[in-house]
Structure 1
Amino acid sequence: MITLNSLTKFYPSELGNQYIFQDLNFTIPAGHNIAILGSNGSGKSTLFRLLAGSEYPNKGKVITDKSISWPVALATGIHPQMTGRENTRFIGRVNGVQNLDEYEEKVKDFAELGIKYDLPVRSYSSGMRSRLAFGCCVAIDFDIYLIDEATSVGDQKFRKKAKTALLNKSQTANVIMVSHDMKEIKEFCDSAIILHDGQLTFYSDLSHALQAYEQL
């Protein structure tokens, strides 16, 4: 369960503060694989960053006793001066991984970096960085995985591998997904949260949520 407690988020502008959420109280229930739906500019990405802890509210807090991943395809926290292996060990230590040797080999195999795993990340392509971040994420057993267009990582072969890995994770953990691909949402999610006018509405049935979303 994730609780949003009096959550306020705004961005300053020349016209004053532009509020995304204002004194929002909401509980995201446990035990569901949830799609976040809303029209452009409704705050989906902002909510995602708040859940990930990569952005902070202006007021209020996000409360949970669950371990939550970073967005799985986002290369946040990957240091360009460190090698892929060094980044992996660092991420593993930060996230409390017990067997770092096993973890780094698991990430190497999944990310398919070969000998480049021991080269500085600054020499990687953007796709290689994303594969490294993805591998680091799915090799850790989080309670909740944040998925943001994650299956667009890499070439077709790797995208298929990434989707299979995430679908497997969704059987033993929960996912919260932002995606524009309705087919992908139906594959991963059983329920949804719709963002509209700064308010959140939870639908336990995905089909009902998609009907409501189409009417926005």
Structure 2
Amino acid sequence: MIECRDIRKEYRVGHIRKTVLKGVDFNINPRDRIGLLGRNGAGKSTLIRLIGGVEMPTSGKIIRKMSCSWPLGFSGGFQGSLTGYDNARFIARIYDKPYAEMRAFVEEFTELGHNLRMPVKQYSSGMRARLAFALSLGIEFDCYLIDEVIMVGDKNFRDKCQSAFFEDREDRALLLASHSLTTVKQYCNRAIVLNDGVATVYEDVDEAISIYEDL
């Protein structure tokens, strides 16, 4: 389980403090598939970064009792001067996974070929997304955090990603921030609507979608 307890997040903009999250409370349980809905700027990416440990909350606690991926879609996840292979080696070392296994998986999943020998800063956004998915899927996390990137790439790659997350890892938890209501309705069993810094949890996904559409 991952517990979010009274999470607040503020940023200083000049002389003004902007509050993005105002006391967010919810749990991510094992096997949960939670859709995170909200308008642009509602704080979806901020919340995912906090849960993934990329940023710290201004106040409140995040208690992680299961392993959690970094946020897919977070642009700061790579060392740009390193190659795709080097980034894979770095991740393998951090999570104590044999590099040979990680390398083989990344090669097969990304289909990037010789581009894996290039510095990541030379990658297109689509190539970076392929590498991001492969590196995250190369480690068996209990919970995956996905920020708006499930629909990147061509149809074959999108199908591969959806199969990897929603079928091959159906026993894992997932927090998915997405504007694709079809994807949320198809795959999620719960939903959270973020609005004005407040997170409302819905056990009925259809009800959450209806509320979101009315915003």
Fold similarity call, TM over 0.5: yes
Alpha-carbon deviation of 1:169? 4.4
Secondary structure (helix, strand or coil) at the match of 1:54 reads coil
CA distance in 2, matches of 1:39, 1:124: 29
CA distance in 2, matches of 1:107, 1:157: 16
Taking the TM superposition and a 5 Å limit, the aligned residue runs for 1:66-215 are 66-97=66-97, 99-215=98-214
- In the alignment, structure 2 segments of 5+ residues that lack a partner are none
Deviations 1:125-173 (A, max 9, x none): 2221221111111121111111122223222321222222121244120
Corresponding letter in the other structure for 2:130: R
Other-structure match for 1:7: 7
CA distance in 1, matches of 2:208, 2:90: 40
CA distance in 2, matches of 1:74, 1:159: 18
Secondary structure (helix, strand or coil) at the match of 1:12 reads strand
TM-score normalised by structure 2 residue count: 0.89
Conservation of the 8 A alpha-carbon contact between 1:33 and 1:174: yes
> Cα gap change, 1:80/1:42 in structure 2, threshold over 3 Å: closer, same or farther?
closer
CA distance in 2, matches of 1:129, 1:40: 23
CA distance in 2, matches of 1:42, 1:87: 31
Alpha-carbon deviation of 1:177? 0.6
Alpha-carbon deviation of 1:176? 0.4
Conservation of the 8 A alpha-carbon contact between 1:74 and 1:130: no
> Cα gap change, 1:101/1:204 in structure 2, threshold over 3 Å: closer, same or farther?
same
Query: RMSD value over aligned CA atoms?
Result: 2.0
Alpha-carbon deviation of 1:15? 6.0
CA distance in 2, matches of 1:170, 1:33: 11
> Cα gap change, 1:185/1:211 in structure 2, threshold over 3 Å: closer, same or farther?
same
1:35 aligns with 2:35: yes
Conservation of the 8 A alpha-carbon contact between 1:73 and 1:153: no
CA distance in 1, matches of 2:155, 2:172: 25
Corresponding letter in the other structure for 2:58: N
- In the alignment, structure 1 segments of 5+ residues that lack a partner are none
CA distance in 2, matches of 1:143, 1:88: 20
Conservation of the 8 A alpha-carbon contact between 1:36 and 1:193: yes
Secondary structure (helix, strand or coil) at the match of 1:172 reads coil
> Cα gap change, 1:25/1:127 in structure 2, threshold over 3 Å: closer, same or farther?
closer
Alpha-carbon deviation of 1:111? 0.6
Query: Which is richer in strand?
Result: 2
Other-structure match for 1:20: 20
> Cα gap change, 1:160/1:64 in structure 2, threshold over 3 Å: closer, same or farther?
same
Give % identity. 39
> Cα gap change, 1:154/1:191 in structure 2, threshold over 3 Å: closer, same or farther?
same
CA distance in 1, matches of 2:82, 2:102: 17
